Structure formats: structure tokens, C-alpha cells
A and B are shown apart, each in its own frame.
Chain A
Amino acid sequence: MSSASITEDRSLRAKWSRSQRKVVPYVFISPFYILFIVFSVGPLIYALYLSLHRWPGSGPMRHVGLGNYTYLAGDPVFLKSLGNTVYYAIGAFLFILPLALVLALLINSTLIRLKSIFRIGYFLPILTSTVAATLIFLLIFNNQFGLINQGLALLGIPALKWLDEELVKISVLAVATWRYTGINVLYFLTGLQSIPPDLYEAAQVDGAGTWAQFRFVTIPQLRPIALFVGVVTMIGSFHLFAEPLLLADGGPNEASLTLANYLYRMGFTNAKLGYGSAIGWVLALIIFGLSFIQLYLFGAFRKED
């Protein structure tokens, strides 16, 4: 082969390679966009369409305008499930997150050795499925013979009905606390370990005590991680499904029912696909609204000055 044909061959190849490089990235990313349009965007729009109709899943659809939404506003079970869901979200913010923050601060402090034992130990529950976790707690919270009531009996305290209307939400929160505290400890630890040590040194030079350092260095520095943890916790709370379903089937008397449970019940058990889709859109609007508020409160939209 002459040297001329080699160079020709090379330049042809280079040309082919260049034109290939224009198309190739689109080919490589296309599976995601095709699946996203078919299995997310399409259903999102179709959910909006369905929410304006009455449809039992087969046969003709009946257009009802905003009828499903106005009906929702007066549906006592929907309002109750909304209230329950908000209760779980508030419970997570008031209980799980402060607990996780305290544990992370303790593990991160110079007082403690054996750090990895605690880190790993707290982390293990997240490895279970929500189903397995809830089944374990179903036994622990049994109204008569659960582990907790057995423990209370040893102390001479009469059994409490953990799965009855009054306490069932606490029990659901307990399962969530068990499963999600450890992962939040890890999130907070990630945040704590990314704080530059010289900030603390500078604060000490300025004569700041432990509390002042916590207040003026740790808290402001944890802001980005707190925003992340806050949004994830909020979204997670609004997706609670298996725990109330398996602990008490959303009951008793809808006392533990979440929005996700009610959507499932309407869409799949009662075959009210339009009504279920309306619940879905209300859920989406709440999640978007709350995410936006959290981003705003944490100054994510503020320009850096």
C-alpha cells in the first residue's frame, strides 16, 4: 500500500469519525428521553386528562370538568388522608431529623470513638424493604402480645393498643424513624465533615465557645445539606405507602391512611381512575409547592453576594 493511500484512508476515517461524533451522543442519550417521554411525560399529561373525566377503566369516559377536584375538596376521606400525610411529614421534621442531627453531631464530636459502629449500626435498617420493616413492626406493635406490650407488662403497665385509631399514626412514624434515621445521620455527617476546620479555628481565635461555634459556624455551614435533607424528607413523607397499608390497612377508620394509600384505593381497588388521577395531581402540586417554599426559605434563589 502506498503512503498516499494511507493518508487518504486516514482522512476518510477522520471525516467518518467526525460525522459519527455529531450523531453518536444523541443516539447514546436517546433511550432515556424515549423512555422519559413514553413513561413519564405522557402519563403526566394523561393523568391531567383523566382527572377531568369519570372513568372506571373501561368503556366510555365522561367529561366532568373540574368535578373531581371540587368533589375532592369536600371528600372527608381525602381530607383525612391529607391531614394524616401532613401529620407524618411534620412528625418526620420534628422527630426524625432532629434525632438524626443530634446523633450525627455526637458521632462527629471529639468525645466519641467507635464512630463506624454507630454509623453502620444506624444505617442497617434502610437496607430492609419497607415491607419487611413493616412486618417486623406489625409484630412489635401487636395490640395484645407485641414486644412493646410484653415489655410494658413486665413493668406492670397495661397493654396499649398501638394499632388503634389513637396511636396508629405514632406507630407508622416509629417504623419510619427506624428505617430513615440512619440515612439522615449519614447525610448530616457528610455535611459536618465538609465544614472546613479553619472556620472553627478562626472562631476559637475570636473567643467563641462551643455553643457560639455551633450557632455561627456549624448551623450556617449545614445549610446546603439541610436543604437537601428537608426536600428528600418532605417528598418521602408524601410517598408513604407500605407502612400504613400493612400495619393497619390505612385504618382503623382511616386514621393512618395516606394520600398515596387513598390514590391507590381509588385508582386500583375502586376503579375510579379519573378521581385517583385528580388525587395524583393534587399530590404533585403540593410536592412542587412545598419544594419551592423550601428552596425559597433556604435562599436557593438568592444571588450570592
Chain B
Amino acid sequence: MDMTLTRRAQRTIAYGFLFFILISMATPFVWMISNTFKEQYEIFQLRPTLIPEEPHLGNYIRLFAEFDFAHHFLNSAFIAVVHTVSHLFLASLAGFAFAKYAFPLKNFLFLVLLGSMMVPLYTIFIPLFVLVIRLGLVNSYAGVIIPGVAGAFGIFFMKQSMEAVPNELLDSARIDGASEFRIYWQIALPLVRPALAVLAVLAFMNSWNDFVWPLVVLRSRELQTLPVVMAGMVGMYRMEHGVIMAASLLSTLPILLLFLALQKQFVQGLTVGAIKS
């Protein structure tokens, strides 16, 4: 009797704490959404309103009309798609090689690959920028995409799933005279589709949300991505909080929708490093 009571008490406390944190986590989202429909004066009035008293779409209209939101949205989308596709190709190709071939220096090269993940971004930041200028890639999407396109993590991840592809399938394709690239492309790649999906959501999100590197590479406004343009709204003489919140919401929406559609892939992609450790 006594035990069940304490268990009930424990359960109440546990749920209370979990829900308290859940509400704290949800509040910024709710506040963001609510404020996109408010005029600045209502955002700043002393008594906060959850449902806008005078809801209006002015913030969204201004976001598209004055800040050219659709244009920057497409910039971000273009970079993210090109990054994701190229990354998937290079990572799966190299992962296939590491999983399915024996070749001299393989172990050493793989160690180098793992070691490359230790290079801190900010240490190479300044020389990388100098290099990108010298290569004539500054202020171009190539300059944003190319330096980070062949990430070691993706290769490591694809190697794991490529190892599960049966060797017999590859060998029988070889007997039929298929080239090694064709074997990768037509036999191995379709079999690792689930892993590709996991890596794709991860790569897309990382590129979509990336801020610092596009900030330094993309000098002219018409090329800039959403995070860069949004950061620029902060320094303005009069900050338009409603417009900024609308931009934050719309910029987060694609990732949220992608997450709702591909929940399992997201969770797997973001925790895979922990499992593999």
C-alpha cells in the first residue's frame, strides 16, 4: 500500500517535471508563431497576448515585398539541394570503396579520414577564406558548397551500410561484365537507400541552417541565404520583430515538414554518431 502510494507520487512528480520542460521548450515556438501575426506595438505591450488582438498578415507581406524572402529562400534551397546530392554521391562512392575493396594503405587512409573530423572549423577559417578568394570562388555558390562537400562523417556512415551489401551480387555482376562504377551505381546504391535517406536529411538540414561560412563567402545580397539575410535584420536601425519572427518561422518550416515526414531518418541521422561510438 505504502509502496504504491510512493510510486504514484513519483509518477506525478516525473510527469510534472517532464511536462514543465516540454512547455518551456514549446513556448519559444508558440511565441514566435503568435508574434508573426502582431503589429510591433502589440508585441511590446506590457500584457503579452497569445492570440493576437488584431491579427494581421502585414509581417508576411513585408517579408516578401521588402526583404525579398522568396528569392533568398530559393538561394538556400538551391545550395542545400546541390550540397546534399553531391555529398550523397561522394560519400556513398567512397564508402563503397572502403567497404568492398581491399587495397594497399586502406587502413591508413581510413585513419586519416577519421582524423579529418578533428580539424576545428574556426582554425582553418581565415586561410580557407583567403584560398577561396585566390581560387576566384568568393561570392559564388561553388565557394559555399565545395569546401565541405565530401565530409568524412558521411563516408564513415555509408561504409557501415555498404558493408551489408552481399559480395555475391557484386561478383555475379562482374562476371556479366559490368564496370565497377556500374556495380556501385546499379547494384550497391539501390540497396543502401535507407541509409542514403538518413544522410540526406542530415546533409540538407546542415546546409540549410549553415550560417558562418555562407556569411563570409557570399558578399552580394542577391546571392545570400536565409540565415545570413535574417542575421542582417538584427543590426537594422529599427528592428521589425514581427517580420523577423515571420522569417524565422518560414525558414524553419521546411525542416519541420521534412522532420514530420521522415522522423525516423532524422532521429537516426542525428544519433548515429553516438551509436557508432
> Are B14 and A112 closer than 8 Å at their CB atoms?
yes
Contacts of A303 in B (CB 8 A): none
Give Cα distance in the complex from A102 to B13, angstroms: 13
Give Cα distance in the complex from A263 to B129, angstroms: 13
Tell which of A40, A136, A145, A267 touches B43, judged by Cβ atoms closer than 8 Å. Answer: A145
Q: If A103-B18, A136-B248 touch, does A259 touch B122 (CB 8 Å cutoff)?
A: yes
Give Cα distance in the complex from A118 to B120, angstroms: 33
> Are B255 and A139 closer than 8 Å at their CB atoms?
no
> Are A40 and B119 closer than 8 Å at their CB atoms?
yes
Name the distance in Å between A162's Cβ and chain B's nearest Cβ.
Answer: 14
B4 close to chain A: CB less than 8 A: no
What are 19 pairs between A and B in contact, CB < 8 Å? A25-B97, A28-B97, A29-B97, A36-B150, A44-B119, A99-B21, A103-B21, A128-B252, A129-B209, A131-B227, A135-B230, A135-B245, A139-B35, A178-B28, A194-B275, A239-B122, A246-B234, A264-B212, A283-B120
Q: If A20-B179, A135-B234, A246-B231 touch, does A228 touch B273 (CB 8 Å cutoff)?
A: yes
Question: Count of chain A residues with Cβ under 8 Å from any Cβ of B?
Answer: 101
Give Cα distance in the complex from A229 to B31, angstroms: 30
Tell which of A21, A112, A144, A268 touches B15, judged by Cβ atoms closer than 8 Å. Answer: A112
Give Cα distance in the complex from A182 to B259, angstroms: 15
B125 close to chain A: CB less than 8 A: yes
Query: Total contacts A to B, CB within 8 angstroms?
Result: 269
Give Cα distance in the complex from A150 to B271, angstroms: 37
> Are B275 and A190 closer than 8 Å at their CB atoms?
yes
Contacts of B98 in A (CB 8 A): 25, 29
> Are A178 and B25 closer than 8 Å at their CB atoms?
yes
B85 close to chain A: CB less than 8 A: no
Contacts of A120 in B (CB 8 A): 263
Contacts of B122 in A (CB 8 A): 239, 259-260, 263, 280, 283
- Binary interface encoding of chain B residues 160-178 relative to chain A, with 1 for a CB under 8 A from any of its CBs, else 0: 0000000000000010010
Contacts of A215 in B (CB 8 A): none
> Are B146 and A35 closer than 8 Å at their CB atoms?
yes
A17 close to chain B: CB less than 8 A: yes
Name the distance in Å between A50's Cβ and chain B's nearest Cβ.
Answer: 6
> Are B25 and A124 closer than 8 Å at their CB atoms?
yes
Interface-lining segment among A66-74, A88-96, A196-204, A284-292: A284-292
Is the contact region of chain A dominated by helix, strand, or loop, or is it mixed?
helix
Give Cα distance in the complex from A191 to B118, angstroms: 23
- Binary interface encoding of chain A residues 259-281 relative to chain B, with 1 for a CB under 8 A from any of its CBs, else 0: 11001100110000100110011
Contacts of B124 in A (CB 8 A): 39-40, 43-44, 47, 280
Tell which of B44, B96, B120, B252 touches A287, judged by Cβ atoms closer than 8 Å. Answer: B120
Give Cα distance in the complex from A272 to B37, angstroms: 44
B190 close to chain A: CB less than 8 A: no
B62-83 residues at the A interface, CB under 8 angstroms:
none
> Are B125 and A263 closer than 8 Å at their CB atoms?
yes
> Are B47 and A154 closer than 8 Å at their CB atoms?
yes
Name the distance in Å between A135's Cβ and chain B's nearest Cβ.
Answer: 5
Q: If A145-B46, A186-B270 touch, does A47 touch B127 (CB 8 Å cutoff)?
A: yes
Name the distance in Å between B184's Cβ and chain A's nearest Cβ.
Answer: 7
B97-139 residues at the A interface, CB under 8 angstroms:
97-98, 101, 103, 106, 109, 112-113, 116, 118-131
Contacts of A123 in B (CB 8 A): 267
A293 close to chain B: CB less than 8 A: no
Tell which of A28, A229, A280 touches B274, judged by Cβ atoms closer than 8 Å. Answer: A229
- Binary interface encoding of chain A residues 13-29 relative to chain B, with 1 for a CB under 8 A from any of its CBs, else 0: 10001001110111011
Q: If A24-B97, A32-B152, A147-B31 touch, does A225 touch B118 (CB 8 Å cutoff)?
A: no
Contacts of B267 in A (CB 8 A): 123, 186
Give Cα distance in the complex from A225 to B109, angstroms: 26
A86-112 residues at the B interface, CB under 8 angstroms:
99, 102-103, 106-107, 109, 111-112
> Are B10 and A267 closer than 8 Å at their CB atoms?
no
- Of all chain A residues, the one with the shortest Cβ separation from B258 is A127
Contacts of A217 in B (CB 8 A): none
Give Cα distance in the complex from A96 to B206, angstroms: 22
Task: Identify which of A120, A139, A284 gathers the most chain B CB atoms within 10 Å of its CB.
Answer: A139
Top 8 nearest A-B pairs (CB, nearest first) are A129-B209, A28-B97, A43-B124, A43-B127, A25-B101, A46-B127, A145-B44, A280-B123
> Are A21 and B18 closer than 8 Å at their CB atoms?
no
- Of all chain B residues, the one with the shortest Cβ separation from A291 is B118
Give Cα distance in the complex from A123 to B263, angstroms: 11
Give Cα distance in the complex from A99 to B17, angstroms: 11
Give Cα distance in the complex from A182 to B21, angstroms: 10
Give Cα distance in the complex from A164 to B262, angstroms: 41
Name the distance in Å between A299's Cβ and chain B's nearest Cβ.
Answer: 14
Give Cα distance in the complex from A122 to B267, angstroms: 12
Contacts of A147 in B (CB 8 A): 27, 31, 48
Give Cα distance in the complex from A57 to B133, angstroms: 11
A230-279 residues at the B interface, CB under 8 angstroms:
232, 235, 238-239, 241-242, 245-246, 259-260, 263-264, 267-268, 273, 276-277
B240-277 residues at the A interface, CB under 8 angstroms:
241, 244-245, 247-248, 251-252, 255-256, 259, 263, 266-267, 270-271, 273-275, 277
